[in-house]
Structure 1
């Protein structure tokens, strides 16, 4: 035995740095395994001359050196410690008990169960760890033992047993993960409840953090994730996509709708409408400004017409972005993480250039200068433009614009003599001193040109305020009271700029007359009835 240990130490020192950890328990195995005889059919020696070990995959270097002769006594007599490490490296399922070999994988399974097929069964020898070497000498025992190990590793029964063990380990891992994530699942379920409540009540996604804070204050465990407004949006999308309350026909309907929304024609039409509405929305907001004047509105509409004409040859940003995606092929054809596909049922594309020309033509019809030449509005616009120094010629005479000023004074019922003198003074000041501030004589005409209503936006603001004032709890307001409230709401200054002194002085004259009529009503205390009842109950 000492010579065997010495040989092991020498072989270990000369090995290369590939490492395998082998414990003493793996060598000794289960002491309770029975000692059964080897199969006589496997005692024939193979005629092929092979090396006693597996092909050299790199020498094995041990980190756990045996210190007792008991370990070597459990190995087959023809093996050294080095050979055992080589076999254990190649066949991890190999175990050894009382000089006999076995399979740990087959030993753990009593049978293949429902996975067993005809003529495929687990080997009793390998299950009971009773595979031994045959032969009179150690050299003759090596080859049969090696052939048994190789045949067992390639057998269908052993392969099926490994699959069953692997599947069992996966199920065990999944079960343990489910147990570990039980609390996480509960917290996530609560977050989905909150997200569903927000969607059902029509509240914004930004309500989620506030609701989470309230739940935390109430002592509810909601975890630490999915507590942002973006998470609320994602949860709502998932609930809508996985709605189990819909039947198959409804799901098919929504599936068809999703296919249409992801079609190339729909996305192109959507981008076209986006570019158009973006320009029209900007024009609408500009025309609703309170400081807008008639010449300014005319210039804005004329500019929008030119924009639509230019978009025929130079499309908008959204259309170009979508067009680049649609022109791609395969999986790269994605827009906002949605795969764009061609759909023959809804492949009608709006002609981009034709739509832009139609919009420009409709705006030209609304533009006053393109209407009938007998209309007075074009002349009024040109007359108002004269008041701007930027429209004057370089050599502007003092009599420039006299006809236009007189025409505007006739419309607004102003003194044209004073207005013309003020305009001449304005020309002289701009030309000589470079000042752009109009003189006092011209201010009445300039203010009159600014009060022309360009759109119905101000009327719509008034109707909107009237709808706010006449709510369900204030439905008995008279027309006079409603008019008073609308005047204060729409025309009155902010509270910090309001000066009540002027109104108090005018109110004093009628204060004595209305003091009785507007005296504060005395509230009648009816609590005494309940006090008597409480006293009776206490008795």
Structure 2
């Protein structure tokens, strides 16, 4: 015999010996403990006869008894408890509420170890499985509740009572350890916990009302970009107004924790809704440095939820970048999205667009952020921000047209003149007061800033025009200045009063204004009368030339066309974008040909469905056919999904710039030590959170209490100590002022 066979034989021998020893121990316990008193009455004898089915009366004496007679003593070895369970019978016979092989006392004894054990019509069942009914989300790997246990149909087909008891004990023991029963038990426990939380919260309605005032005050401080150290003063003010603000949660730390809790709960609700609906979404990204000298990445998603009329840009996260390479940005981006439950699997189905600026780390063709994201999510359409491209196109025009360049140089001279010298600003302010003009700050123009900043600069020069000319003339005649400085101011006054400059100023102003036309008449009348805003106009210098606006706009259009539908660079390949735009034209009636056949747009719609990962493209094609036949009036739901996906593609990342502007309002020089996560929470409250008048703090108070935090009326906590005012020596003065 081999060694392996020998070991196997030894194992089975020991197992058989162990089983025999265990059975002998059980029988010994039965022989010693399962004894009834002598002289058992007639009722007990009838009970034993009924249970065993025998017409003869059992003989009982001290030390012996009928085998497994339920009227005597039922011994069960409970493996779960590791000890023998003796359930002595009482005089009650077996009834309909328990099996006929057990008495009522015996069945109740079993229920002490298995509280879920129930009996209906001579069949065992499980109250836990019956209460749950179905496992729902807990159902995994083919796991389900047994119908027999739910419907109380567990019985034994054995003829002998001993075998019936043994079979039922085994079924009960095994059911208690099944995965389905444990999952049902877990579901009931969770339901009891939620019910308990609701009961506790309901009993604290007055506490919740008081705590809601604290939460609303903290939310107001966040919406106003106020620091948390002024929270105690806000509480004191409301208490002086007669409101009950509780005893605790009055400190600046409590304010910061409440704001963080509200932000996290809002973010959880929003993105749980996004994950539930699975709408198509796009990303808006931009990188910047905050006032605390940390490189950050701001993330927006553009999506349309079922209750929204059109796609909206939603702030998602502000992430601190520990690695400024494309690989590091992508890693931090994926981690931030996973924190709000937007996993890679979810993004593979829903992510269709990306918008960012033209930085090389973002749009690098080989290893930029866009290229890496396209490798992970192939349905992405990358779009270089249109606002940035417009600024780059205008910058190209400035380099091409000399007249525009001269106008920009003069505006930059005005900016540097008053931005670097407090003396010049004070003199300009005096000149403005003398001519009754309200000063506006002069900035730069036609650089890599937004068009709105250039418009504000031109508008400031327009409004400050008489004050500027007066200051230049006064400085050119000031005897305290040297001759070179006086000549510089005299040249500026001459250029400012030239007809060409006034004409260019008005044309640029009109080109950037939302409602052009109203300034042209004023300038035209002034030039004809040789006077503009009280300043006599001159011919100026030979280099002062009027702008050719037709050439200017043609050059802007040309440069913008070269840059608009491209991936990046000066003159890149944009054939892919041209094809994309051509496919989109089949969705808009203004681009349709006069005679459209039945199959018009079928190939394009199918390609768009594949690009945007839309299911059932055949249904979308049929909806588009009806859309074309109705002349663009009948839009079915299948086609609306395609329209929503197209509108979800972002064309500008300007929303990210607005987010950075809001970040600078939060992270001021006095609050430059704020953590990036704190800034992100406050940004979410400011950008996405509802206005104060529509904010309901009760759900957030309930979740706050459910997490084990204190309410404002907590009596076991110390009351906030109010420090004495450091200027108490002025109490006598305050008494005078208060009377």
Assess same fold via TM > 0.5. no
Larger Rg: 1
Instruction: Give the TM-score of the pair, scaled to structure 2.
Output: 0.30
The higher-RCO structure (CA 8 Å, 6+ apart) is 2
